[in-house]
Structure 1
């Protein structure tokens, strides 16, 4: 509601003030100050179009100056009040009109002389409106966006190439990777006070977020303890033994934030960090300041303000998943002619081995599958790589001659996969491929053959990430295996395929009895209870591995004991876990990290064999 500012009583309208003075004088009370000689300025409430950067008394100078020049009568305050009401919002208008009506009732003599029509005919709305200026924040944002479009960093503001960088880390980067402060080599790192406050808010609990927040806090405390009390020159990041981190860690020891557009309220943590980054640019003029955040919207807002922003890339194995190691390579059709002079062959344990010399030995990787263009019957695997020579071994033929639990391979890729799954020298296998390529079926068939028939493993353990595609259906009843049963529909479907035999002599009863015996050798486990366990002579199947983070993948693989084989199945194009991408998935992580290890192999399946409907849907949808 609009108010009146006078020298005597700043909250009373002039007519009530006159009555108050007359009553006090009649009672011979203590002397009062003199009656004001001129009327005070009108204070208007902040409306939706008010300029918040200017004082309230100067919001409408032209509209307030006209009443002060008019003669001082009892009717003028009413007219001035209604002028102010016209420029105010609708709610304020109703409130002030009610107040004026009450004043007319309380003092009818002072208001009877002035009619109401002149006050309605001359509302200076246009003058009051011209005094209000629009905010300039949107214009600044538009100019920043316009500059960022012409940058050379895919929409990010460019940084000078001749300057060292100062990376300002967002809270989500530290929670995502507790060791991220040591991942910037010779560059410096800056942590705003807001980041430390948010770490303190997330430290309670038993989740991975709380665990990582506590880990970061411990690292920061150790760095400060080794450095001493002086933090103004930064803390060397190499104090904890991280020799690759030669930069320094800076903290917000004093306020460095600068004003940002009013459209970004600073009561939000992200906006406070943006204000600090803008201030850091002025506090460190010799360094190129870059904001690092996992939050996409945070990076977008930073770009609109002209702040260089990047994603945290240290945890990403590959920027382009098309360069992911596929585990196979096609040799040219003249391969035998090229290596004919140095080619040697021999038989060992029923298989054929070849050794040849080549100047391109670096192209070959141990346990890489090889084919020759134009020769569909040739399939081999690399067994050793020397600086100038390569040794390969022919693969067994599961397409026509051999079977695994009663099934044949339908194409060359499946034949390679079955060879890797049944090789006793390979302890870790990764099968990648789209839906319908036979990953789960072949893995389960190889597991049953080596567990039930060959007795190489004692039992089969199946686990997967419990990440739903759509909405969660809630809590599931029962024991651990009963809770995991709805997630293992693919396992049940493939068991049904493996035990559907037309030549079975036992009929339905015999097949059901066999299925019950096989299910007794299969254990369904949840990943939530894997920590601390050790698997001895187990065949472990990790299904839907693309939904696991690198840390979860490490936890599962390190459970393997002597005689255990682990198989990871997944498709990096079907990631359902939030905040995981194709480049940061745990499946991509293990494929690149295990590449070249003599006891690990990877194969990517591209040809679907589920049905013609599924194959066509994969191509067109």
Structure 2
């Protein structure tokens, strides 16, 4: 093999002659994981040539068993399999015996021995960039990232002008949201005021439109922390149960997944065991109670934590749902991204007549170690129920969240 001839395999066949005008991008593993379609973006039609080191494939093979990354690896492999002519696999001179070795060294070795003329390593690993520079290999960051999105993020509840109609979805018409709801199309030109709560933006207003619509039984809401999912759901629940009296009771269900250090065993009654996990719910209910009295919700609101009347309001762990039949109630399922598909099915199958259910969460904040961004309860709800006549989904957005510090976190991607 001559030194100036790339020793490669292209989509399983011999490499073709390279045009000197084309850029030759070599893609690192982290780029494919951040954007599974990166190789198509970099190729830009047929403008450039894209190469994948063999050790990158080995890394993907290892990571496919990772519960956090396996679903993204599946997307990457699918794109590679469907586009065999879009990339070239570099053939290594030697293969790492184990991943205890630093695989980046083998990736650089593949590039150096490939014979490619002026290859450009595309990686967001700054250390690897420095190592490449030391060996005279050019490198660049991948700037056009389109990170993986779950169904709950990808389907925002809004449709484009060319999209086919979907039940209970929205579209924009001259800057105004048009709702394709149970009663047909209508422009949402009015602002809701639910339990004396005025929406901060159009998305919160549309969330209340879905939550208070009598023709919709199940509403899922996806958003980052701080956009008011739980607050809006509780306000709508108070409105339906205490003001409209269309529902007799409010249930709040939440999976008990700890963040950070474990609290360990907690003694006491169910309410006492749940209190660390549901304190924010109690605080939001009290905030709504101060906005407009909800006295029928309590045995006593003068103590903290308040004593809720179990006939009107109940906080339940997932374990207590099995065997129940819930009827004529508003059910709020918070942090549904931390529920498995089977838990989600078990819970929703408990819903009887006259139930309004709000499924809330953020698929990018999965704390359950056995779930991931795609394989979680909230995402399964959107995937399976999208288009159903009595189901609606919305992604909450906005420039302001719960406060200026949260705004900083969201804006700067902490």
> TM (normalized to structure 1)?
0.41
Cα distance in 2 for partners of 1:474, 1:462 equals 23
Q: How far did residue 154 of structure 1 move?
A: 7.8
Question: Residue 326 of structure 1 aligns with which residue?
Answer: 156
Question: Residue 370 of structure 2 aligns with which residue?
Answer: 579
Q: Quick check: 1:148–1:156 contact (8 Å CA) kept in 2?
A: no
Q: How far did residue 569 of structure 1 move?
A: 0.7
User: 1:563–1:263: structure 2 CA closer, same or farther, 3 Å change rule?
Assistant: closer
Cα offsets for 1:33-70 (capped at 9, x unmatched)? xxxxxxxxxxxxxxxxxxxxxxxxxxxxxxxxxxxxxx
Cα offsets for 1:98-146 (capped at 9, x unmatched)? xxxxxxxxxxxxxxxxxxxxxxxxxxxxxxxxxxxxxxxxxxxxxxxxx
Question: Residue 210 of structure 2 aligns with which residue?
Answer: 420
Question: Residue 395 of structure 2 aligns with which residue?
Answer: 604
Q: How far did residue 565 of structure 1 move?
A: 1.3
Cα distance in 1 for partners of 2:242, 2:189 equals 21
Q: How far did residue 617 of structure 1 move?
A: 2.5
Tell me the secondary structure at the aligned position of residue 408 of structure 1.
Answer: coil
Q: How far did residue 517 of structure 1 move?
A: 8.4
User: 1:365–1:392: structure 2 CA closer, same or farther, 3 Å change rule?
Assistant: same
Q: How far did residue 394 of structure 1 move?
A: 2.8
Q: Quick check: 1:149–1:155 contact (8 Å CA) kept in 2?
A: no
Aligned length: 278
Alignment of 1:189-588 (within 5 A): 320-321=149-150, 324-329=154-159, 360=162, 362-373=163-174, 375=175, 378-383=176-181, 391-395=184-188, 397-398=190-191, 402-501=192-291, 512=302, 520=310, 521-588=312-379
Q: How far did residue 393 of structure 1 move?
A: 2.1
Question: Residue 206 of structure 1 aligns with which residue?
Answer: none
Q: How far did residue 370 of structure 1 move?
A: 2.2
Q: Quick check: 1:430–1:603 contact (8 Å CA) kept in 2?
A: yes
Tell me the secondary structure at the aligned position of residue 418 of structure 1.
Answer: helix
Cα offsets for 1:389-430 (capped at 9, x unmatched)? x951233623xxx41001111110001000100011111100
Q: Quick check: 1:499–1:511 contact (8 Å CA) kept in 2?
A: no
Q: Quick check: 2:195–2:238 contact (8 Å CA) kept in 1?
A: yes
Q: How far did residue 152 of structure 1 move?
A: 8.8
Q: How far did residue 368 of structure 1 move?
A: 0.4
Q: Quick check: 2:254–2:333 contact (8 Å CA) kept in 1?
A: yes
Q: Quick check: 2:308–2:314 contact (8 Å CA) kept in 1?
A: no
Cα distance in 1 for partners of 2:171, 2:158 equals 6
Cα distance in 1 for partners of 2:58, 2:232 equals 43
Question: Residue 55 of structure 1 aligns with which residue?
Answer: none
Question: Residue 386 of structure 2 aligns with which residue?
Answer: 595
Q: How far did residue 549 of structure 1 move?
A: 1.1
Cα offsets for 1:362-410 (capped at 9, x unmatched)? 532110022235x3xx2221137xxxxx951233623xxx410011111
Tell me the secondary structure at the aligned position of residue 555 of structure 1.
Answer: helix
Q: How far did residue 544 of structure 1 move?
A: 0.8
Cα distance in 2 for partners of 1:148, 1:502 equals 61
Tell me the secondary structure at the aligned position of residue 180 of structure 2.
Answer: strand
Q: Quick check: 1:405–1:449 contact (8 Å CA) kept in 2?
A: yes
Cα distance in 1 for partners of 2:60, 2:396 equals 37
Tell me the secondary structure at the aligned position of residue 409 of structure 1.
Answer: coil
User: 1:613–1:532: structure 2 CA closer, same or farther, 3 Å change rule?
Assistant: same
Tell me the secondary structure at the aligned position of residue 290 of structure 2.
Answer: coil
User: 1:396–1:475: structure 2 CA closer, same or farther, 3 Å change rule?
Assistant: farther
Q: Quick check: 2:196–2:292 contact (8 Å CA) kept in 1?
A: no
Q: How far did residue 605 of structure 1 move?
A: 0.6
Q: Quick check: 1:549–1:584 contact (8 Å CA) kept in 2?
A: yes
Q: Quick check: 1:148–1:155 contact (8 Å CA) kept in 2?
A: no
Q: Quick check: 1:396–1:419 contact (8 Å CA) kept in 2?
A: no
Q: Structure 1 unaligned segments of length 5 or more: list them.
A: 1-146, 158-168, 177-260, 265-317, 332-359, 385-389, 505-509
Structure with bigger gyration radius:
1
Q: Larger helix proportion, structure 1 or 2?
A: 1
Cα distance in 2 for partners of 1:380, 1:517 equals 42
Cα offsets for 1:146-182 (capped at 9, x unmatched)? x99338958558xxxxxxxxxxx99x99xx9xxxxxx
> TM (normalized to structure 2)?
0.60
Q: Quick check: 2:337–2:361 contact (8 Å CA) kept in 1?
A: yes
User: 1:156–1:450: structure 2 CA closer, same or farther, 3 Å change rule?
Assistant: closer
Question: Residue 116 of structure 2 aligns with which residue?
Answer: none
User: 1:560–1:579: structure 2 CA closer, same or farther, 3 Å change rule?
Assistant: same
CA-atom RMSD in angstroms: 3.5
Q: Quick check: 1:429–1:602 contact (8 Å CA) kept in 2?
A: yes
Q: Structure 2 unaligned segments of length 5 or more: list them.
A: 1-50, 71-95, 100-146, 295-299
Alignment of 1:45-124 (within 5 A): none
